Amino acid sequence: MNFRKELKVIEIPKWGGYLRKSWENIFANHLSKEDKEKINLDHFLWHLCSWDAVNCVIEGEAIKLFNQHKKRKCTIFYQYIDEAYLVENAKNLRIQDLPYDPLHMFYGDIYVMDWEQKWTFIMTHEEKCGPYFISH
């Protein structure tokens, strides 16, 4: 992936599984195992938002929050592959910088998570779902 040099992006291969589990533990920890199964969280983490199982901001407002939010360091990862990135100088990270392809089976669901795990931004492969922004 080609990122702008000012972002200082480090590839972190094989971190996808770890980051997905961390994301679930942080943003879906209020749900029981049964609730997670009911919304098929094991298939798509973003179901947390589309099933209204968490307070989140959607669509244009989510993009606006992501672009304006103060960012220091964050991770970028996907739903189905273990490819992931650490963005060390993320203050200028914008939606246009994200390695996202909604038509590609593996790159269609992308998650950006604050290194301190206080917020997340999600773009899905579904045209009518998302983007989403969750903040603690």
Q: In whole angstroms, give the CA distance from residue 102 to residue 53.
A: 23
- Distance, in Å, from the CA atom of 16 to the CA atom of 83, rounded to the nearest integer, reads 6
Q: What per-residue confidence (pLDDT) applies to 66? A: 95
Does pLDDT of 105 surpass 90? no
Token digits for 29? Answer: 């920890």
pLDDT at 97: 87
**H or E segment to which residue 86 belongs:** strand 84-87
Beta bridge partners of 121: 112, 133
> 127 pLDDT band (50/70/90 cuts)?
confident
**pLDDT computed for residue 99 by the predictor:** 78
Banded pLDDT at 103 (limits 50, 70, 90): low
pLDDT at 104: 65
Q: In the prediction, which pLDDT does 1 show?
A: 59
pLDDT at site 4: 74
> Who contacts 25 (Cβ-Cβ below 8 Å, separation ≥6)?
none
pLDDT at residue 98, as a whole number: 87
Chain position carrying tokens 């999600």:
122
For the chain, what is the mean pLDDT?
91
Helix/strand/coil for 113: strand
Q: Can you tell me the distance from the alpha carbon of 79 to that of 10, in angstroms, rounded to the nearest whole number?
A: 19
User: Between 41 and 4, where is the model more confident?
Assistant: 41
How far apart are alpha carbons 124 and 102 in whole angstroms?
Answer: 7
Query: Which residues, 6+ apart, have CB-to-CB distance to 8 below 8 Å?
Result: 87, 88, 89
Between these two residues, 87 and 96, which has the higher pLDDT value?
87
Q: What is the pTM of this model?
A: 0.92
Expressed as residue numbers, the domain containing 130 is: 5-135
User: Is omega for the bond preceding 131 within 30 degrees of 0, making it cis?
Assistant: yes
Q: Strands of the chain (E only): list them.
A: 9-11, 57-58, 74-78, 84-87, 110-114, 119-123, 132-135
Domain count along the chain: 1
